[in-house]
Amino acid sequence: MKDYLELLKSEPIFRRLSTIQLIAYFGAWFSNIAIYTLLLNLNTSASVIAFVAMLHFLAGVIQAPFSGSIIDSFKPKKILLILITIEIFATFFLIFVTSVDDMWLLYLLIFLKMAAASFYFTTEMSLLPKILRGKKLQKANELHSIIWSLSYTLGMAISGFFVYWFGVKVAFIVDALMFVVGFILLYNLKIEINIIKTDENLFEMMKDTFRYIKRTPQALHLMIIHAFVGLTAFDALVVLMVDQYYVGIIASSLALGLLHSARAVGLVIGPMLISRFVNNKTLVYVFMAQAVAVWIWAVLMRDFYLSLFASVFVGFFTTTLWSYTYTLLQKNIKEKYYGRMVAYNDMLFLSSAALVSFMIGFLATHDFSLQSIAVLMGVGFVLGGLYFKWILKTQTIKDVSDDL
C-alpha cells in the first residue's frame, strides 16, 4: 500500500485521473444494479438479461478499431471530456425506461454509455505509459484495478441498499451526477502530452497497425492472453443465480449488491497480497488458481451465504490477472502504437466478455445448470494458463519488472 500512496503523491496527473476514476466508477455501479433490478422487476427472460450483459461489452468492441487511431491523433484531455459528457446524458436518460416496451431505449443508452466508457478507458490506459515508466507503470495499472475494485465493492454494497430504498430512477440520477463531478475535475486538469504527428489518415493508420501486429506476433499473443480475463464477466450468471436460487431469501437488488461486493473484496485484497510474487513464470499458476476458485464457487453457489464466501475467493486472483497481462502488453509494444494497440487489446477483451455473457444466456436457456456453466468458465482459465506457458516458450516477452 505504501508504494501506491507514494505513486499518487509523486504523480499529480495520475492522482487526479485516479480520483476521477474512483468517483465515476463508484457512481456507475448505482446504474448497474439499477439496470439489472429493473430487468428482474419487469420479468424479462434469461436471454434478455444475457443480451444486456453482452451489450455492456459489445459497444466497446464495435468502436475499438477506430478509437485507437483517434487516440493517437488528438489531445487526450479533449477526448476524455467529450466521452464523459456522453456518459452523463446516456446515464440520465435511463430514467425514461419504465416498461418492456422501452427495451429499445435501454439497449441504445447502454450501448452509448458503454461505448463512451470503453473509449474513455482506452484513452486513459494509452496515456499512462506516456507519463509513467517501469515499476511506476506496473503499480499504476495495479492501482487502477484496485480503485475499480474498491469502487466496485463500495458501489455494489451501497447501491444494493440504495436501489432497494429509493428506486432505480434515483440511482440513475445519482450516477449521472457522479459523472458531472468527474467532468469538473477533468476540465481543470492540465495534461501536456506530445502527439506524434503523422500524415496518415484514419484508415492508413489502421493498416499500419495490422502491419505492426504482423511483424510483432508477441503483441497479438499478449492481447489474446489478456482476453482470457474476459472469462470473469460473471454479471449475467450472478443475475440468474439471484433469480433461480435467492429470490425467496432476499430482495433482488440486495442480493445483487452483496454478491458483487463480496467478489470485489477479493478484487481489492488479492493484488495487495500476491502481486509481488507474480512474474512471467508464476502467472500460469495464477490462471490455475482462478480456475479452482470458480469451480469452488460452482459447488457452493446454491447456498446464498456460502456463495458470498466463494465470491471473495473468485475475485482474489482476477485483479492480478488483469493488471499483469495489461502491463505486459504495454511493456512489449512501441510508443507510437500505444493508442491503437490498447484499443485492439480492449476490443479482444470486450469481445471475450461479450461472448461469455451471450453463452451464459444461451446455455441457461438450453437446460445447462448454472453450476455446469461456471465449471466451463473455470476450464477456460486452465486453457489460458496453458496458452501463456506456450507463449513464453515460443516468443520473446519482456517481464513486467524489466527496465524500459
pLDDT tens-digit series, residues 183-204: 999 888 887 766 555 555 566 7
Give the C-alpha separation, 100 to 38, whole Å.
10
> pLDDT, tens digit, for every residue of 18-56?
888 887 777 666 777 888 888 888 888 878 888 887 777
Positions of the chain with pLDDT lower than 50, given as ranges: 404
Predicted local distance difference test score (pLDDT) of residue 223: 92
Predicted local distance difference test score (pLDDT) of residue 345: 84
Predicted local distance difference test score (pLDDT) of residue 199: 55
Measured between alpha carbons, how far is residue 175 from residues 41, 49, 188, 264 in Å?
A: 20, 21, 21, 19
C-beta separation of 129 from 335 below 8 A: yes
* Cβ-based neighbours of 145, under 8 Å, separated by 6 or more: 267, 271, 319, 322, 323
Is this structure's pTM higher than 0.85? Answer: no
Across the chain, mean pLDDT equals 83
Predicted local distance difference test score (pLDDT) of residue 145: 72
What spatial distance separates the first Cα and last Cα of the chain, rounded to whole Å? 24
Q: Which three cell numbers stand for residue 48?
A: 434478455
**DSSP state for residue 367 in the 8-state scheme:** T
Predicted local distance difference test score (pLDDT) of residue 404: 45
CA 242 to chain centre: 22
CA 46 to chain centre: 22
Give the C-alpha separation, 348 to 127, whole Å.
19
CA 329 to chain centre: 16
